[in-house]
Amino acid sequence: MSATQTQGQHSLAFRVMRLCKPSFHVDPPLRIDPFDLLAGEDFSDDPTSASLFRRHVSSADAVDSDLSYRNRFLLNHPTDPIGLSDLLLLPRSFGAIYLGETFCSYISVNNCSSSEVRDVTIKAEIQTERQRILLLDTSKSPVESIRTGGRYDFIVEHDVKELGAHTLVCSASYNDAEGERKHLPQFFKFVVANPLSVRTKVRVVKETTFLEACIENHTKANLFMDQVDFEPAKQWSAVRLQNEDHHSTLDPPTSDLGGLIPNPPVIIRSGGGIHNYLYMLNPSADVSGQSKFQGSDILGKFQITWRTNLGEPGRLQTQQILGAPVSRKEINIRVVEVPSVIHLNRPFTASLNITNQTDRQLGPLEVSLSQDELQMEKAVVINGLRNVMLPRIEAFGSNDFQMNLIASKLGVQKIAGITAFDTREKITYELVPEMEIFVESD
């Protein structure tokens, strides 16, 4: 943090210190063998002399040594490579400030003059490119006096929600020894960086949208992700897809108290570590009316919370994630249910649902199974009347109906070619995507 002060002599001066948790003191151990103090590394080149020397210096309390140096890299105890001591380190510099964290600062107003100052009014605020945020204002209850060599201390906090340059403005108005009213502004500048980046990819497969999010850690500390939730827009429902084989089959980690750790956080390593999340999005069944069917490119947004090594929290919310606008058909027909067992040359009933996705009334409709000239012999055809007549369907309404079908071939077959013809507007709708069924013999 850089500090600037206006010209002129003032009795007061601001001192700003950032409040943050200490870090672990790491002291990498120097691993040696006691025998190294008596002989050099080249002593083990001669196996005969090495064994004779060992025989002469050995005693009951002697520590066995590997003269071949083959096992020097082995870790005899799990704590050997950690190098952690019982000490904690205070920060030596102001450090980096990241978006989503809470900036906490200890501010001290010092009287560095030889006389007392009175009626001190103190203000502290954060200035960004967009706004000014007041953190402290003692105008209504000014400090009565600050004696020579004395100070007035306070703590301010600010949730960092903007990137870029920030300025902590500390100002004091006071009466000096001569009774003159003076004003002291002091500026402390710092830059807020982005702790992580979220890269997204959107793929549309038929009626399903897949959203992949890659979160990358840009900080110098590991991030423990407490929560990575995708909040879909109201016209979508989202389900996170996870690989079950990815989780370890070993026993779950335990704490020192012997209790199980519920939902251990995902760790994203410092300096560019990444973690991927995959979500499956489908049109929401809870939304009715026009908003359910209109094309929209807004998918939703992410809510991300994390903690650092010593538990300092952070929180970010991404902007709205956009996908390709979803085009909606005026009419949609879907197969709701078919029998679990379908036999060759035996009629079966398929349950279907037709939905009007417009804001006007449609119909009457004539539903049929189209005959493709290139595929004259279809494996699944209508049994009985070729056309099913449906009444008018209100705006955004739906209707359930059934069709009697029969399969003429064994194995995996497809129900395809179901269309609807609007007898009033003379429009044909190609509706139902292919659906596979399995046909068994009698």
pLDDT in tens, 358-398: 888 888 888 887 765 445 567 888 887 778 888 988 888 88
Q: What is the pLDDT of residue 423?
A: 87
For the chain, give the percent of residues with pLDDT over 90. 33
- CA-CA distance, 223 to 313, in Å (whole number)? 10
Q: Where are the domains of the chain?
A: 2-21+92-193, 196-246+264-322, 331-440
The pLDDT score that the predictor gives to residue 251 is: 41
Q: Which CA distances in Å does 4 have to 86, 107, 165, 172, 187?
A: 38, 15, 15, 15, 5
The confidence score (pLDDT) of residue 242 equals 84
Topology at the third CATH level for domain 196-246+264-322: Immunoglobulin-like (2.60.40)
Task: Report yes or no: 66 and 47 within 8 Å, Cβ to Cβ.
Answer: no
Specify the range with the lowest mean pLDDT, choosing from 11-25, 38-52, 344-358. Answer: 38-52
Same fold for the pair 196-246+264-322 and 331-440: yes
Given this model, what pLDDT does residue 326 score? 61
**Strand ranges, E, within 50-116:** 84-89, 97-98, 102-111
**Would you say residue 262 has pLDDT above 90?**
no
Position 308, amino acid = T
Looking at residue 43, its pLDDT comes to 60
State the residue for tokens 């939905």: 355
Q: Was domain 331-440 assigned CATH 2.60.40.10?
A: yes
Q: What is the mean pLDDT of residues 237-264?
A: 57
pLDDT of residue 321 exceeding 50, the answer is yes
pLDDT beyond 80 at 418: yes
Q: Report, as an integer, the average pLDDT of 83-107.
A: 82
Task: Give the separation between CA 51 and CA 428, rounded to whole angstroms.
Answer: 97
Cβ-based burial of 264 (10 A; exposed 0-12, middle 13-18, buried ≥19): exposed
Strand-strand pairing, 435-440 and 342-343:
parallel
pLDDT digits 0-9 by tens, 167-214: 999 999 999 888 889 999 999 999 999 999 999 999 988 778 899 999
CATH number for the domain whose boundaries are 2-21+92-193: 2.60.40.10
SS3 category, 291: helix
In which residue are the tokens 């003191």 written? 25
pLDDT band of residue 257 (cuts 50, 70, 90) is very low
* pTM of the model as a whole: 0.61
As a whole number, mean pLDDT of residues 340-365 equals 87
Write down the pLDDT at residue 441: 86
d(CA 250, CA 260): 13
Q: In whole angstroms, how far apart are CA 160 and each of 127, 193, 359? A: 11, 10, 45
Tokens 């035996």 correspond to 346
